[in-house]
Structure 1
C-alpha cells in the first residue's frame, strides 16, 4: 500500500461509542473518530455519527461532509442553522454551543486544533 494513502474515507470502519447522557437530546446516537494525521498541531480525521440529536460545545474545526444528512443549530452565539449534506464545508469556532440532529448517518473529514 502507498504510504501517502491514509484511508478510503467513505468505507473505512470507525469504532463507535455512545454519547455522554448529558449531551443526549433524542434517540440513542453513537459516534466515532478515526485520527489520520497530525500536522503542526492540527489533527485530521474522520468523524461519524448515527441518527439522533445531541448538544455540543465546539472546538476549532473545519469540516467537509462526505455522506449523510444533519441539521446543526447554533445555540450560543445564536445563528441560522446549517443543513449539512455531502459537500458541505463548514468552519466551527471553539466555544460555540450547538445542537446536532442527524437524520442519516453523517460522516465528515475534519481538521481540528486543541485549545492552547
Structure 2
C-alpha cells in the first residue's frame, strides 16, 4: 500500500495502479473501468482515491464520505429511494452501507474517500 505520510504531499491526480474492468454483473452500459488506492488505514478509518471511467455501473455501497476531485457523473439510488445526485468537482457526498446505487459517469470521475 502507498501510504500517506504526515507532512508529505501526494498527487491524487495520478494513481500508480492499473484500471480494472467493472465486474460483468455490475456493468450496466459501456465498458467502465475502475481503480483505487488506499492511502491511509489508521485511526480506524481508510482514506483513498478512486476512479471510474465513462459508463454506467451498479453498486452496493459501504459507509463513506467522499469529495469529487475531477469528472462528471450522477448517482441514482435504487434503494433507498432518494433523489439522484449530480457529481462534479467539489461535490461532497455521504453514502451508507447497503445503499443500492447506479453510477452514470460521463467524464472519468476521481474522488477522495474516507471510510470507517
TM-score where L is the length of structure 2: 0.90
What is the aligned residue count?
A: 112
1:93 counterpart (89, 92, 96): 96
Q: Does residue 39 of structure 1 match 2:39?
A: no
User: What secondary structure, in the 3-state scheme, does the structure 1 residue paired with 2:48 have?
Assistant: strand
Which structure shows the bigger proportion of residues in strand conformation?
A: 1
In the aligned structure 2, how far is the partner of 1:3 from the partner of 1:15? Answer: 26
User: What secondary structure, in the 3-state scheme, does the structure 2 residue paired with 1:63 have?
Assistant: strand
In the aligned structure 2, how far is the partner of 1:27 from the partner of 1:18? Answer: 11
Report if the CA contact (8 A) 2:15-2:37 is conserved. Answer: no
TM-score where L is the length of structure 1: 0.90
Report if the CA contact (8 A) 1:53-1:102 is conserved. Answer: yes
Mark the runs of 5 or more structure 1 residues left unpaired by the alignment: none
In the aligned structure 2, how far is the partner of 1:91 from the partner of 1:53? Answer: 20
Report if the CA contact (8 A) 1:6-1:36 is conserved. Answer: no
Report if the CA contact (8 A) 2:68-2:90 is conserved. Answer: yes
In the aligned structure 2, how far is the partner of 1:31 from the partner of 1:99? Answer: 14
Q: What is the aligned-residue RMSD (CA, Å)?
A: 1.4
